[in-house]
Structure 1
Amino acid sequence: MENKYSYKDAFEELQLIVSDIESGDIAVDELTAKINRASELLTICKAKLTASEAEVEKLLQKLENENKAGEADFE
């Protein structure tokens, strides 16, 4: 699946689907399609969050290593 959505866009569309489902005025055929779409959007959101988490961890590790190197210079 091509991941052309931003997290924000995917999450907002997911919120709309949840609102539609909660309204209870959806035909069974439409409900199935909306649930399938919601599943796709959840996959996109999870992938974006996982990628962001990995990037943050990488940056924190880099900062920690730089900090340790800086402390070693003062010893």
Structure 2
Amino acid sequence: MKKELTFDKAFNDLAELVEEIEDDEIKVDTLAAKVKQANELIKFCETKLRTIKTETTKLRRGK
């Protein structure tokens, strides 16, 4: 069973990835994979935030 990704989980995973990416001893091949994963999490978080902004704007306008 695959668990649905939440904003909090994605954000926490992203924070961990940033720490790993900033490690001076990270291998280039590992770095590329970590950066790709981080980009995917960033896109997920951005989409989630845009969706929430749209929903709250609609609620404020009474739609």
| Superposition CA RMSD, Å | 1.2
**Structure 2 residue 25 is the aligned partner of structure 1 residue 25:** yes
Percent identity, aligned pairs only? 35
In the alignment, residue 45 of structure 1 is paired with which amino acid? C
* Structure 2 counterpart SS, 1:23: coil
In the alignment, residue 36 of structure 1 is paired with which amino acid? K
Write out the 4+ residue segments of structure 1 that deviate beyond 3 Å after TM superposition. Answer: none
| TM-score of the superposed pair, with normalisation by structure 1 | 0.75
Summarize the alignment of residues 51-66 of structure 1 with structure 2, pairs less than 5 Å apart: 51-62=51-62
The number of equivalent residue pairs is 60
In the alignment, residue 16 of structure 2 is paired with which amino acid? L
| TM-score of the superposed pair, with normalisation by structure 2 | 0.89
Q: Structure 2: state its 5+ residue gaps.
A: none
**1:32, 1:54 → 2: CA distance?**
33
**Structure 2 residue 16 is the aligned partner of structure 1 residue 16:** yes
